[in-house]
Amino acid sequence: MNLERIKAYYKNPKNRSTVNVGLFIVLIISFHYLYLGWQSVDYWPVGNWVEKLMLWSVNLVYSQSCWVLDHIFCIDITTFAPQRIISAINKDGGWAIVTIAPECASLKQWLHWLFLMLLFPGPWKHKLWYIPAGLVIIEWANVVRICGIMLMQIAWPNIHIHLFGNDINTFQLAHDYIFKLFFYLIIFLMWVLWVEKFYNPSLKAKQHE
């Protein structure tokens, strides 16, 4: 009986928004713990491939971030490619520094997006182009994140606030809070666009067949 009620609730168009958001939350949380588990076993059985992909992706975002800071924001940056360090003089004459570690690559978010979109329902004829487009957007969102962390350190080098029981400096505020939320907000907005422009219309079209 409970199963029948769940099915009825799921199929009721009035509950579609709640069901969609619930499924989104379940998929996002599920992937987070699946990824942590996979990471704990060194990405078995494709650990070597994942390491190579992570190295490629972190070098990619490093070069893209350097280009954006140099050519778009015209920041006089100093770089150290072997360790993927970007530095520049801040407004107080000190140094603003970002080191792009492998964990800063877009790989986890790419996999997050793939997991979400492959399992969330919707027309495959649109998924075939929407998923790759999302991967590109995520990559450039990561570039925005890294450049934003750098620019905040240049413009506001001496931020010190007390947040959630911790003393937070400029880098921590930008890295751990502002741009981390920005990154996942982009994924959420792309999912909302998918639901509103592709998934829901496909359901309505099926109902009128």
Q: Convert the pLDDT of each residue in 24-83 to its tens digit.
A: 999 999 999 999 999 999 999 999 999 999 999 999 999 999 999 999 999 999 999 999
Looking at the predicted structure, is the pLDDT value of residue 1 above 60? Answer: no
pTM to 2 decimal places: 0.91
What percentage of the chain has pLDDT greater than the value 90?
80
Return the pLDDT at 203.
85
Q: How confident is the model at residue 11 (pLDDT cuts 50, 70, 90)?
A: confident
Looking at the predicted structure, is the pLDDT value of residue 209 above 80? Answer: no
The parent domain of residue 93 ranges over 2-207
Return the pLDDT at 208.
64
Q: How confident is the model at residue 194 (pLDDT cuts 50, 70, 90)?
A: very high
> 163 vs 46, which has greater pLDDT?
46
Burial of 179 per CB tally in 10 Å (0-12, 13-18, 19+): buried
Looking at the predicted structure, is the pLDDT value of residue 118 above 70? Answer: yes
In the chain, the number of structural domains is: 1
What token pair was written down for 61? 């975002």
| SS3 assignment for 135-166 | HHHHHHHHHHHHHHHHHHHHHCCCCEEEECCE
Return the pLDDT at 13.
75
Which residues neighbour 158 within 8 Å (Cβ) at sequence distance 6 or greater?
A: 92, 170
Of 71, 90, 67, nearest to 79 by C-alpha is: 67
Of 134, 111, 100, 125, nearest to 28 by C-alpha is: 111
